[in-house]
Amino acid sequence: MELLQKLLCPVSMVLFVLLFSSPNVASSSVEEANGLLKWKETLQNANSSVLRTWIHIPNNGSGTSASSPCQWFGVSCNAEGRITSSLPLVYLDLSYNEFSGNIPPEIGLLTNLETLHLINNQLNGSIPREIGQLKPLSELALCNNYLTGPIPSSLGNLTNLVSLYLYQNQLSGSIPEEMGNLTNLEFVYMDTNNLTGPIPSTFGNLNRLTLLNLFDNKLSGSIPNEFGYLKSIVHLDLSENQLSSSIPASFGNLSELTHVFLRSNNLSGPIPQEFRNLENLILLELNGLMHPVNSTDMKDLDPRHHSRCDPSGGYGGEP
């Protein structure tokens, strides 16, 4: 019954087809494979379902066996492997599988990963600091799990990261200032957690940042003046926190900004005059009051619409 449900799960089916149509491969990093196998041992649910393809590689490695990790469920390897026959695991997606258990430190062995999706499972425990070893990672999606503990400062080592989806967990502690080193970041979703402390001023370094969702946390302190350096920001949602003092005038520099949500904070003072410079601004939501800049453009006001657990949506699933 359960197996049948798994097989009928459309997302899994799509992945299954995608991944198993990849070319047969002879060799692949044994260390990477062992990292995955170790993880499999700790995942509950693992046997009954999709991970039955994750089995030990024969050590004589003769020929193309069905157990090549590049053919495992949710895994795919670098296409260059067809030529070089070295096959780094670049893609791991175990989303929507109801896995429970932790993300183990061995995740750090998958040092070629570019994409890691563990969306919509029941993973608990904290994000291991070893995740900082995945240097090529450009997309990390852990949204919709039960992850607790802090965001590890080692995340600041993932300088190739473009998209980060951590929302709808129970992450706590403050946002590491090392994240300011991630200058390739474009999409950051850390909303709906239990994060505390200030928004690091180092975020001002993120000059490619297009979307920042930090709503529904317990962030405090003032909005950093350095936000004025977020030259690419289009969508900013800081609502439902405990941010105080006034909105920095440096916001006037954010010429790409279209949507700003600051509702349910403890902000004071006037809306800075510099907002007049924001030619693209469509909506400013502040203290429960909408400030439509151009009411004919007001639509889609629910900020939560902008945070679906759907990295493939690119712009975060905005319709």
Q: Give the interface with ligand NAG as residue ranges (CB under 6 A).
A: 47, 58, 60, 62-63, 65, 100, 124-125, 132, 153-154, 156-157, 170, 172, 177-178, 180-181, 194, 196, 202, 225, 228-229, 242, 244, 250, 253, 266, 268, 294, 296-297
Closest CA to 288 of 311, 270, 310, 262: 262
Q: For the residues of 27-57, what is the DSSP string, one character each?
A: ---HHHHHHHHHHHHH-BTTTTTGGGG--PP
Nearer to ligand NAG, 31 or 41 (CB): 41
Q: How far is the CB of 163 from ligand NAG (least distance, A)?
A: 20
Nearer to ligand NAG, 65 or 160 (CB): 65
Residue 177: helix, strand or coil by DSSP? helix
Q: For the residues of 256-292, what is the DSSP string, one character each?
A: T--EEE--SSEE-SPPPGGGGG-TT--EEEETTEEEE
Q: How far is the CB of 312 from ligand NAG (least distance, A)?
A: 28
Which residue lies nearest ligand NAG, judged by its C-beta?
228
Q: How far is the CB of 250 from ligand NAG (least distance, A)?
A: 4
Beta-carbon contacts of 104 under 8 Å, excluding residues fewer than 6 positions away, are 38, 39, 42, 128
- Backbone Cα Rg of the chain: 21
Q: How far is the CB of 132 from ligand NAG (least distance, A)?
A: 4
Nearer to ligand NAG, 47 or 287 (CB): 47
Which backbone phi and psi does 249 adopt, to 5 degrees? -65, -25
Q: How far is the CB of 157 from ligand NAG (least distance, A)?
A: 4
Q: How far is the CB of 111 from ligand NAG (least distance, A)?
A: 11
Kindly state the greatest CA–CA separation across the chain: 72
Nearer to ligand NAG, 91 or 229 (CB): 229
Say how many C-beta atoms besides its own lie within 10 A of residue 184's C-beta.
16
Where are the alpha helices (H) located in the chain, listed in sequence order?
2-8, 10-20, 30-42, 81-84
Nearer to ligand NAG, 91 or 119 (CB): 119
Residue 96: helix, strand or coil by DSSP? coil
Nearer to ligand NAG, 64 or 86 (CB): 64
